[in-house]
Structure 1
Amino acid sequence: MTSLEKDLRLLINNPKYSDIEILCEDEKKLYGCRAILAARSESFERQISLLTINSSGMEIILKYFYVVSIKENSLTKDNIVEAYYDAVDYFQLSDLQRFYNEKLKKIF
């Protein structure tokens, strides 16, 4: 892991350094840095409500937005499915969809 990746991981879902709130379907609030997220997807504003996306799936998507990698030990059957069917489709992340396709094939 590079020093930059390590530093960016500290920003993932960190309310201390956030300037955007993401409200998820399960009423959980996640936090992000608008500049980083907006550079990766135009969908981000000051606060967004993703009433069809569960926070477990959105947390994985946030990790991908920040560091373009996901630690396999953080993946579960449930959060992979959640991220794939809701968040990945919403944000149109084809690279992440391919990654999840490979993981889902191994699980099922």
Structure 2
Amino acid sequence: MSTGYSLEKDLIIINNSKYSDIEILCEDEKKLYDCKAILAARSEVFDRLLYNWMKKSFEKQISFPKTSAMEIILEYIYTGSIKEESLIKDNIIEVFYAAITGLSGFLL
């Protein structure tokens, strides 16, 4: 299906370098491509990080230690839900910790 027929499907642009204006670099050197406006609109933490902290507002990259945890966080930011199969024993603690610390415990 081409674009323009479903707003919901058109806006699900998780990890799409074509529409990205920021990269999240994870400790395993994997890059996640994202849109600053969407991250900031959906998360006060990202809003402060990307638009209110002077240094960060000009950078095109931020760091995060756990790829699997950030992928789950981004899934929620972009879709408003998380697939149950995404949460496994190895990543659920990191996702929970990021949630209760407002990501500040993870973002480098």
The TM-score with structure 2 as length reference comes to 0.66
Residues 9-48 of structure 1 mapped to structure 2, 5 A cutoff: 9=12, 11-39=13-41, 40=43, 41-42=46-47, 43-44=49-50, 45=57, 46-48=60-62
Divergent runs of 4+, >4 A? none
Larger Rg: 2
- CA distance change for structure 1 residues 74 and 8 in 2, over 3 Å: closer, same or farther? farther
The TM-score with structure 1 as length reference comes to 0.66
Unaligned residue ranges in structure 1 (runs of 5+):
93-108
Residues 12-91 of structure 1 mapped to structure 2, 5 A cutoff: 12-39=14-41, 40=43, 41-42=46-47, 43-44=49-50, 45=57, 46-50=60-64, 53-85=65-97, 87-88=98-99, 89-91=101-103
Unaligned residue ranges in structure 2 (runs of 5+):
1-5, 51-56
Structure 1 counterpart of 2:40, which letter?
A
Structure number having the greater helix percentage:
1
- CA distance change for structure 1 residues 7 and 77 in 2, over 3 Å: closer, same or farther? farther
Aligned residue pair count: 86
Q: How much identity, in percent, do the aligned residues show?
A: 64
